Amino acid sequence: MNTIDPSLIPFFAPQGVAIVGASHDPTKLGYGLSRNLVQSGYHGAIHFVNIRGGRLLGHPVYTHLAEVPDPVDLAVLLIPAPSVPQILEECALRDIRAVIIAAGGFRETNAQGAALEAQCTQIAQAHGIRLIGPNCIGLLDTHLPIDTTFLSPPGPTPGDVAFISHSGAICAAVIDWARGQGFGLSRLVSLGNQADVNETDVLAPVAADPHTRVLTLYLEGVSDGRRFVEQARQVARIKPVIALKVGRFASGQRAVASHTGALAGQENAFNAAFRRAGVIRVDTSEELFDWARALAWCPLPYGRRVAILTNSGGPGVTAADALEAQGLALASLTEETKAALREFLDPSASLHNPVDMLAGASPQQYANSLRLLLADPGVDSAMVILPPPPMHTAGGIAKAIIPVIFTADKPVVIALMGERLIQEAVEYFRAARIPDYRFPERAAAALAVLVQRAESLQRTANHEPAAVNPESIDPGAVRSVLAQHPSQELQKSGGFLHPDAATQILRAYGLPLPYTPLAENAEQAVRYANELGYPVVLKVASPDIPHKSDVDGVRLNLQDSQAVYQAFDQVTANARRAQPEARLLGAHLQRMLPEGQDVIIGTVQDRQFGALLMFGSGGVEVEGLKDVEFCLAPPTPEEVERLLEKTWAGRKLRGYRHIPPADLEAVRSALLQLAQLAVDFPELSEIEINPLRVFSQGACALDARIRVAI
């Protein structure tokens, strides 16, 4: 794991804390902050600062920060925003180099607030002060202990789940919800506006906490995408990291003209980044802590085979469906296990997984059955379903099976169905740190994330980019082409390079392209067709028409000169009719290639994470099918294989029924060459080859577009 930045240590292990803005008024946030720090049981020095002086909660109140005695290495500011710059100067004079600005009134309000925040950042940087906030609620550690928040008591119970959040209000809700759900927090960090310290900075210090078993994140974005990926990847090797990324449907309305750019979007970029980092992404707040409890409290399974133990058939079938939907499998029980179950269960009980003991199942039958299932070599994990039993109490069954779960080295989750009649069992399971869920679907998802974590750790992580042959690339040739296209010219085309320039760039990086001369008139088209040899393909050429098929601008399988002559007039006329304002350069011709499999490959520069590589089903229906996957560029060998395995286009390349296998190695090579081009030249904002036709041997780019950032 990365070494912790020494400048952040005072936030998490301060020798003394000064609260500037402490208040005697119980209705003020400054009083709540002071009360929480005192009541947290913090063992370091506590100092209160308020111009009125006096005493507060048994501690003296100093009128100025300069009066505060040693030790003090952390200041928490809860004062009017305009006063913050002056107090930061005083912190520097007092040699306080860690400050939490809990006050609001900064960038989140208006331009004046943004300017004030920038002023605070400049002061802090000039004096080597690290800032958390502004507009945050602070942080707490239930084990140190310390609480620098102003939230209403009671605070969280000590636990093993850390929570890092961009939202302060979410923190308050999570603390209260965690108490109700029976799990505790280890650390909580509210980051606010992140004028300085951001989500990436706090990953390593939070993960280093020995009491933290799982890190959970509430993210509205990331400050430095590539740095976040690198830091999170190192942390996730040691402890699970789970993220809820919000703003899913509010991605920027970026002007894109390629399929790749349109399909990339903010969410696919985050998905690719989280996969590279090993961060587990959730869709809901409930999943965030459902999965965190399972990862914190359960051993990891050795495989995907699950045994279901129930006293009712319906919930058992529901669980079986839910497990399959999660990509898990029902375990096949050995004959020895079934024979042992038969000895003490009702003769009518179902001994095939799911094991249905029937409604009258006793606590001892639950315990004995679960012990046998966990001992079965074909079982990797278990789900116990417990609706309110008619003949016994749910609490009695919980007490009976908890010792079995404690002694097992396989994970067990509980689908504890109901509400009032199961409360005693709820208390027992939570006290024993055994995750319980109200319905089988949630329990199945928790088992699935345990498998995901186990498989992630089992893989031999190779995070080095896949190798590209340096002799196959010529960056100098690309620079030369780009130098010939001034920004004024690119402005007219919306940033798109002339097709000939795009071809030169792709060839400079070893991508396979056919000879595609540009004919400015029908006579020239016929001359080129005769040189190429029939049959040929003719495509309208215009920097303003990204998708030629949309304007009926493509003609295939032209067999003679007359067909070429007519096709030129047709496609140019169609283009003028469909887009009268478009600039027409003529038409490109190329030799009609043999049949193969058409795929799309492309790259797009993401604002936060840099170059993304795309692969999927190509042709005119790419956006309709959306059979595409993304990864960060340059990709690792594992990521290249994932692009191929997770798409129908990639799986089909191996051959399917009447479709013969195609050259996978040629596709891998094209992906790596294209990714390297995007990494080497980030000014190429969008590159798309659609389609890349893959033959039994080799591949060829039939159409390509490159857009330059302007």
Domain presence at residue 552: yes
Q: Are residues 158 and 31 in the same domain?
A: yes
Measured between alpha carbons, how far is 696 from 486 in angstroms, rounded to an integer? 41
Task: Give the whole-angstrom CA distance, residue 148 versus residue 302.
Answer: 41
Instruction: Quickly tell me which residue has 């395995």 as its tokens.
Output: 645
Are 199 and 50 contained in the same domain? yes
pLDDT over threshold 50, residue 48: yes
Same domain, 303 and 382: yes
Q: Which amino acid, residue 399? A: K
436-437 vs 146-147, strand pairing mode: unpaired
Same domain, 117 and 12: yes
Residues in the chain, overall count: 710
Q: Whole-model pTM? A: 0.89
Q: Are residues 425 and 536 in the same domain?
A: no
Last residue of a domain, one of 160, 184, 212: 212
Which secondary structure element, helix H or strand E, spans residue 448, and what is its range?
A: helix 440-458
Question: What does the mean pLDDT of the chain come to?
Answer: 93
Judge whether 691 lies within some domain. Answer: no
Q: Report whether 559 contacts 630 (CB < 8 A).
A: no
The total of other beta-carbon atoms located within 10 Å of residue 41's CB is 11
CATH of the domain at 115: 3.40.50.720
Residues 450, 567: one domain?
no
pLDDT at 495 over 90: no
Model confidence band, residue 461 (pLDDT cutoffs 50, 70, 90): low
53 located within any domain: yes
Lowest mean pLDDT: which of 171-185, 321-335, 451-465? 451-465
Query: Measured between alpha carbons, how far is residue 211 from residues 138, 218, 539 in Å?
Result: 19, 20, 64
Taking alpha carbons only, the member of 324, 209, 215, 221 closest to residue 278 is 215
372-427 pLDDT, tens digit per residue, is 999 999 999 999 999 999 989 999 999 999 999 999 999 999 999 999 999 999 99
What integer pLDDT is reported at residue 256 of this predicted model?
A: 40
**Phi, psi values for residue 604, rounded to 5°:** -145, 145
Q: What is the pLDDT of residue 267?
A: 85
**Span 93-122, mean pLDDT?**
96
User: Distance between CA 304 and CA 311 in Å, rounded?
Assistant: 23
CB 279 within 8 A of CB 241: yes
* Domain membership flag for residue 464: no
Last residue of a domain, one of 164, 192, 212: 212
Q: Given this model, what pLDDT does residue 400 score?
A: 98
The percentage of the chain sitting over the pLDDT mark of 90, rounded to a whole number, equals 84
Residue 376 domain flag:
yes
Scan for tokens 């607030």, then name that residue: 113
How many domains does the chain fold into? 3
Helix (H) or strand (E) holding 703: none
Indicate whether 443 and 537 sit together in one domain: no
Asked if 319 and 308 touch (Cβ cutoff 8 Å), the reply is: yes
- 433 and 530 assigned to the same domain: no
Give domain status of residue 293, yes or no: no
Through-space distance between the first and last CA atoms of the chain, rounded to whole angstroms: 39
Q: From CA 146, how far away is CA 138, in angstroms rounded?
A: 11
How many CB atoms are closer than 10 A to CB 85? 15
Residue 318 structure tokens: 């529901």
Question: Do 82 and 204 reside in the same domain of the chain?
Answer: yes
Rounded to an integer, what distance in angstroms lies between the CA atom of residue 506 and that of residue 679?
A: 14
**389/519 same-domain check:** no
Look at residues 212, 237, 264 and tell me which one is the last residue of a structural domain. Answer: 212
Cis ω before 363 (30° cut-off from 0): no
**What CATH number does residue 559 fall under?**
3.30.1490.20
- 11-40 pLDDT, tens digit per residue, is 999 999 999 999 999 999 999 999 999 999
Q: Distance of CA 688 to CAs 236, 251, 438, 622, Å?
A: 33, 21, 47, 12
User: Given this model, what pLDDT does residue 620 score?
Assistant: 67
Instruction: Tell me the three state secondary structure of residue 605.
Output: strand
Same domain, yes or no, for 446 and 540? no
- CB count, 10 Å around CB of 58? 7
384 in a domain, yes or no?
yes
Q: Are the C-beta atoms of 243 and 279 separated by less than 8 Å?
A: yes
Domain residues for 110?
Answer: 6-212
Residue 500 has pLDDT above 80, yes or no: yes
Residue 460, pLDDT above cutoff 60: no
446 and 312 share one domain: yes
**Which whole-number Å values give the CA distances from 642 to 577, 630, 631, 632, 650, in the listed order?**
43, 9, 9, 12, 9
